Amino acid sequence: MSIGTPVLLFDDGTGFTVNFPATTIADAPEGSLIAVAIFVDDSTNPISAVDSAGNTYEVASNLLSASPGPSVMAIAFCINSAFDLPAGGTITVSQSGGTGGVFAYSVSGANGGLDPSTPYASPVVNNPASATSAPVLTGTLANANTIVFGIWTWFTNDAGFTESSGFTDLFDATHQSNWGDFAYKITNATTAVTYAPTVSTAQQLQGMILAFQASDILYPQACL
């Protein structure tokens, strides 16, 4: 089953607080991957996500301790949604005390689970020193038909951002300046994938990659 282009479900770059509900503008069909990019400024409380269709989400996140700027970035994901989330539905991201931005996308065909080359506990990289590029994030994919998401955040708003080669932006310049980066790359080979964007202002940076594989079975195991 081929992997489709990510479809925007909602864009809330104006900020959220605990139990923030965002209304979807497109349908996320049963069996799709739902990926939610989250940027928040509270590093002391856990993040969770649910939706109005009854799907549940895992959360891959990382913390930074300095400021200003988002101190946490996360991707909440439901790999193989058990229930259709229609346009007009909601996704609720909860994090006590935090404010930030939340952005969600649906992807068809990427319901085969996390590619084992990038389990979400391991690909997080912090750069505590001041720099314009973080340590390179790379993984050699175990599966040929895969979508790779890259997410970055930084401490100083930075309009001088350059996307990593081969990745497609899911944010416009305003969101990149204010929040960070969320991008994707669809691959058709078991190859090394490198995610290494840069910024123009030296600062502390953090990044993470997650890869989701396709499945030959339409709905192999629902995300309940």
pLDDT in tens, 163-194: 889 999 998 777 777 777 899 999 988 888 88
Q: What is the pLDDT of residue 26?
A: 96
CA distance 124 to 189: 23
Compare 141 and 88 and report the one with higher pLDDT: 88
Whether the CB-CB separation of 151 and 171 falls below 8 Å is answered with no
List, in order, residues 6 or more apart from 81 with CB less than 8 Å away: 28, 29, 30, 31, 32, 33, 34, 53, 55, 222, 223
Following DSSP, what letter does each residue of 58-78 receive, concatenated?
A: EEEEEE----SS-SEEEEEEE
Q: What is the pLDDT of residue 107?
A: 95
Residue 67, judged by CB atoms within 10 A of its CB (0-12, 13-18, 19+), counts as exposed
Nearest one of 99, 117, 79, 87 to 10, comparing CA atoms: 87
Whether the CB-CB separation of 198 and 154 falls below 8 Å is answered with no
pTM of the model: 0.86
Least confident stretch, 67-71, 144-148, 212-216: 67-71
CA distance 72 to 10: 20
Phi, psi of 166, rounded to the nearest 5 degrees = 90, -10
pLDDT at 76 over 90: no
Q: For the chain, what percent of residues have pLDDT higher than 90?
A: 25
Which amino acid, 189?
A
Q: What is the pLDDT of residue 220?
A: 47
> Which run of H or of E encompasses 175?
helix 173-178
pLDDT at 209 over 90: no
Q: Compute CA distances 211 → 23, 40, 100, 170, 204, whole Å.
A: 26, 22, 24, 16, 24
- pLDDT tens track for 128-157: 556 676 656 777 788 888 899 988 877 666
pLDDT at 112 over 60: yes
pLDDT at 121 over 70: no
Q: Residue 122 — pLDDT band, cuts 50, 70, 90?
A: very low
CA distance 148 to 207: 13
Least confident stretch, 36-40, 49-53, 73-77, 127-131: 127-131
Nearest one of 79, 83, 31 to 52, comparing CA atoms: 83
pLDDT at 97 over 70: no
